Structure 1
């Protein structure tokens, strides 16, 4: 009994007294486990008398499934019955079985010359004394006898502690298994599997949930025991020898039963969590507000759709993106009488079917009172339209917000910056970006990237570099693609100084020089007319182990063409061909333009055959160069043929390309064609330069007087 109480900490809530003495029962009277006397039982009466019937079973191992603990909802009273005694016997049998197994090994190590019978005799004496002390309630080191040596008692207590610890672990393991297979843990594991959790993570979570249930169970059992101990204090019991009268029952005196309750707390309970006093009245108001807000966040389930409303719902879902959903939405509203959760359910179904229809219906619901529109609804709708490049619809929703006096939140303004930058509306992008700053919001890297790209697309590369500096001052850096976009803008403008600054910024940001960045430097110096600097960066590309692409070679040849360094250009091409680096259409286009200006018609036509051999159509730049060459040499038919291709692609021409074509036609005395191309230029929204208009007016005057116009005008 004492060993079981020590293991499970179960208090004795009631004790029986008779004639002022505590009465106990002998083990033979209460044991229901059949014990078989071992065959090696000694004949020595001194040993036999010291062995109780409990010791007879110490060499036979009994298997039990674990102890049933007192539940948190029980009465808390442990009655002395046959079942409890069975539990005691099972615990004692398990303890002695483990104890004998370990102790036998200890004795065998010390007494190497002793045979099996001697070891068994020693074990009977040791175990008999342990059982006797347990029956007397003296199972501790303070009550040891002098029958054994101090070393032997130390070994006994060491083995006992090991056995008790192993039994506790075994019981916890069995209890943990029961929680692993409990319905609550199975339900949570099933739900985790449904949402996509698999493998080791699912096993870890299931073990964690079972451990939490196990800890909660132990905690509530401890609290229940503490409550019972406070209600009926444990009575100290003394185990005496069994009376010779063979008493089989014990009467319980009701006068001896005492119930003791915990003292009542005076004052209010204070709850302090991390230094915060939650017992103040204001926290009750906060709890009510949280509850009210929770009802709006987690609303009730949508109403069931049935009858005619179900038919109307199917009709709404079958609409196409170009159809008007307003009539069916009105009918559905009258039939269903929806709340916000019903509208959201309908929108989710529409979103799965048709994105365009979803956006139309969502925009209609912004004006619906039962939908309870908030700022977040506007923000999500603006973001959805901007993602699909429907900028007009997004602008319409933003205007609705302004009409209703709704101030866009940070998320909406961030979406607006991305949208305006993507659509190329630099003015509105800047305005929204500055509005974010004025509200004290620090834009993140994505917002800065959007406004930088807006400046780049608008040709304002200096402002883009300024935003890069601001982003770097905030201890952040942009992506390599953004740096390359700004670098490309400087290269296209022919600004090598700005391009060099961006490359240096990339180095400080941790981006090493690459083929793309060096190619843009070659382009910047080429457009500026510095072939030597361009060649330096061109050679750097090769030194780094890269092969320059066709565009890079074309830019290098163009740099030589501006200075008319024909020898250097041809030498570069031969060297590249020797190194196995081939050039393509872009290089051919630059060579045709260069040789066309030199009026080397045969060489140009030879290069044109390269396009036919490779099956590549010449670009628009090639036709502009051919028109210029044939116009200046007076080959009208071929010039007009090239001009026809140019007019067919007039939407792709820039202002400089228009002027180049007009001047070449004027140089060939094709005045009417030149004026027609100028009219096309004006229709495209470009304004001819003053020099070009004066040249055309002078050509008309010379033509009316049948005089040959001076070519210096063009």
Structure 2
């Protein structure tokens, strides 16, 4: 086991070796200065989490060097805190060799350090090493806690071992562990990751039957997974189940389902759900409105979409660039250029910076109706506001000028843009 860990951790060991050389050999002036600056490891490792997270990797490894040279040697508690801080930096390959060095000094691992190492192996997709270390830990009489098992579960889910993940949760229940929301959410995410949609929904139902109430994050994960796969009917059923369980869906879950319905062109269902959301006391936000406005615009229902903009403003929900872009594009397609220009002016009035999509919609509208001077002016305005034209901008303008036999103007636009 030790040789395997050593082989896997060569990257971390090389880093530590380089750092040692950079600091100087023990007893040299640079090394002594370094130790003096970190002379009290207790003070550093007793900091509150926020400050401890500010520790840099070089400092953490240097601090480990101070600790192993201290006499008496620090307790395992301090090493655990240091290893945890390094793991939070996502430097998982560094933790293992430091753990080896600590053991060589005769300091035995605790349940907490074993858990940290297992998590590091899982995060590096080294599941076999994590399992071997778990076995060793249990032989020494340590019972893994829910956090350790959750790390292993996460490793299975991200390592294409979803059947092992499901088996692990069943074993956890059989051994008397009560899976927490992290356990369930990790497994559900893993099931969706491997396209096991029905299993994920069934898992939520099993949770409810066994008295383990899923939280909003769980329902949100399921709703997101269903909508991404186009299972919008199941997503709507999920909202009904939440209502039966007297769990209030939040705006994020509603937005997820609304967006899913919009993508799969179920406009009447979107409007119904949006109205239901308000009726049940969940206040829509800018994302809710944007999804519905875009959906209505795609169906040519620009007047309904326009009323929603007025509704937003009345309810003091500030529209953003996405809101205006959807409406401007809809008005342009309906040939209502005056209304599109008014929306553009309203954007400016609200200190919203139009983007390339805004300008392209307006330029396209002007070109379609042979208002080439307006199109050219909009292009110049776009450039003056440091909004970079793209291929669509140039091709729309050049095509418009060429159709009206103003090839020279088209070339001038191209050269102006290239300059």
Give me the TM-score of the superposition, normalised by structure 1.
0.37
Secondary structure (helix, strand or coil) at the match of 1:427 reads coil
For 1:417, which of 139, 142, 153 is the aligned residue?
A: 153
Cα separation, 2, equivalents of 1:520 and 1:557: 15
Corresponding residue of 1:615: 351
Which residues in structure 2 correspond to 1:449-598 (within 5 Å)? 449-454=185-190, 464-491=200-227, 495-512=231-248, 517-544=253-280, 547-573=283-309, 576=311, 580=315, 584-585=319-320, 586-598=322-334
Secondary structure (helix, strand or coil) at the match of 1:529 reads coil
Cα separation, 1, equivalents of 2:185 and 2:217: 10
Does residue 317 in structure 1 map to residue 48 in structure 2? Answer: no
Tell me the CA shift for residue 463 of structure 1: 5.2
Which residues in structure 2 correspond to 1:681-692 (within 5 Å)? none
Contact 2:84 2:116 in 1 (8 A): no
* Pair 538,630 (structure 1): closer, same or farther in 2 beyond 3 Å: same
For 1:332, which of 54, 58, 69 is the aligned residue?
A: 69
Corresponding residue of 1:347: 79
Secondary structure (helix, strand or coil) at the match of 1:564 reads coil
Does residue 366 in structure 1 map to residue 100 in structure 2? Answer: yes
Which residues in structure 2 correspond to 1:95-494 (within 5 Å)? 314-315=35-36, 317=38, 321-322=57-58, 324-325=61-62, 328=65, 332=69, 342-344=74-76, 347=79, 363-367=97-101, 368-369=103-104, 370-373=106-109, 377-383=113-119, 394-395=123-124, 401=130, 406=135, 410-411=144-145, 412-418=148-154, 425=158, 427=160, 431-437=164-170, 440-441=174-175, 444-446=179-181, 447-454=183-190, 464-491=200-227
Contact 1:624 1:643 in 2 (8 A): no
Contact 1:560 1:569 in 2 (8 A): yes
Tell me the CA shift for residue 315 of structure 1: 4.8
Contact 1:494 1:526 in 2 (8 A): no
Secondary structure (helix, strand or coil) at the match of 2:57 reads coil
> Which of the two has higher C-alpha Rg?
1
Secondary structure (helix, strand or coil) at the match of 1:589 reads helix
Cα separation, 1, equivalents of 2:367 and 2:347: 22
Contact 1:452 1:464 in 2 (8 A): yes
Tell me the CA shift for residue 590 of structure 1: 1.8
Tell me the CA shift for residue 497 of structure 1: 0.6
* Pair 582,315 (structure 1): closer, same or farther in 2 beyond 3 Å: closer
Gaps of 5+ in 2: 1-26, 42-55, 139-143, 400-419
Contact 1:611 1:617 in 2 (8 A): yes
Contact 1:623 1:645 in 2 (8 A): no
Secondary structure (helix, strand or coil) at the match of 1:371 reads coil
Cα separation, 1, equivalents of 2:258 and 2:107: 59
Query: Could you list the per-position Cα deviations for residues 640-679 of structure 1 after superposition, in whole angstroms to 9, with x for gaps in the alignment?
Result: 96997487xxxxxxxxxxxxx87x9877778xxxxxxxxx
Tell me the CA shift for residue 627 of structure 1: 7.8
Contact 2:125 2:159 in 1 (8 A): no
Cα separation, 2, equivalents of 1:402 and 1:578: 57
Contact 2:232 2:261 in 1 (8 A): yes
Cα separation, 2, equivalents of 1:352 and 1:444: 23
Does residue 638 in structure 1 map to residue 374 in structure 2? Answer: no
Gaps of 5+ in 1: 1-307, 386-391, 648-660, 671-714
* Pair 402,628 (structure 1): closer, same or farther in 2 beyond 3 Å: farther
Give me the TM-score of the superposition, normalised by structure 2.
0.58
How many residue pairs get aligned? The number is: 331
Cα separation, 1, equivalents of 2:95 and 2:260: 51
Choose between structure 1 and 2: higher helix proportion: 2
Tell me the CA shift for residue 481 of structure 1: 2.7
For 2:341, which of 605, 611, 614 is the aligned residue?
A: 605
Secondary structure (helix, strand or coil) at the match of 2:247 reads coil
Tell me the CA shift for residue 417 of structure 1: 3.1
